[in-house]
Amino acid sequence: GPGDGPSPGKRRLGVMGGTFDPIHHGHLVAASEVAAQFQLDEVVFVPTGQPWQKSHRAVSAAEDRYLMTVVATVENPQFSVSRIDIDRGGPTYTVDTLRDLRALNPDADLFFITGADALAQILTWRDSEELFSLAHFIGVTRPGHTLTDAGLPKGGVSLVEVPALAISSTDCRARVAKGDPVWYLVPDGVVRYIDKRHLYRGE
């Protein structure tokens, strides 16, 4: 905005959606790398809403996932966290996330950052044609998943190689359940938050 110095063109806003149960360094490195390569002004992390359907496992409370995301990002001036998907309630559809963020940030171009696994599902997402008109999509590499542009619309998606971090939330939860450390897989504050709230112990 005014006073922030010259900003030719529109503000460039990255959007990183995820369950973040818990957030880990794979998420943070991916966001940081895309921010640098795409000259993003900010990356907003958007924890998903609470799924109301019974799935194969119980997702941690939205408030815990939100707070871990805040703890993990609070020191980076380029990173922020949005409650929009949590406050909307119900399961999250990316098209709703992007519609809401567009309305809240009419001055910005949106860049949706997603891992190779999620990108592969993209054409099966709800309102997939509209998605590409709301944001530019950036698929990031993820160990164990191949990045491919097969079937993706030309121009709407960029593929980015990020430093490979073979970290997943699933593995972090399993480690905590077994009593194995998650130090250096997730930020220190997240280790302490998991411990304080006794998350993932009973899995």
Residues in contact with ligand ATP by the rule CB under 6 A: 18-21, 26-27, 30, 114-115, 117-118, 140, 142, 162, 165, 167-170
Please state the closest distance from residue 13 (CB atom) to ligand ATP, in A.
Answer: 17
Please state the closest distance from residue 166 (CB atom) to ligand ATP, in A.
Answer: 7
C-alpha pair distances (Å), 67 with each of 27, 31, 173: 15, 18, 17
Instruction: Give the residue among 27, 94, 91, 26 at the shortest CA–CA distance from 59.
Output: 91
Position of minimal CB gap to ligand ATP: 115
Nearer to ligand ATP, 21 or 85 (CB): 21
Instruction: Give the residue among 147, 139, 165 at the shortest CA–CA distance from 26.
Output: 165
Cβ 125 vs Cβ 93: under 8 Å: yes
CA–CA gap between residue 57 and residue 170 (Å, rounded): 11
Nearer to ligand ATP, 32 or 108 (CB): 32
Nearer to ligand ATP, 82 or 114 (CB): 114
Please state the closest distance from residue 153 (CB atom) to ligand ATP, in A.
Answer: 18
Please state the closest distance from residue 29 (CB atom) to ligand ATP, in A.
Answer: 7
CA–CA gap between residue 64 and residue 111 (Å, rounded): 26
Token digits for 156? Answer: 């709407």
Nearer to ligand ATP, 5 or 124 (CB): 124
- What are the φ/ψ torsions at residue 153 (nearest 5 degrees)? -65, 135
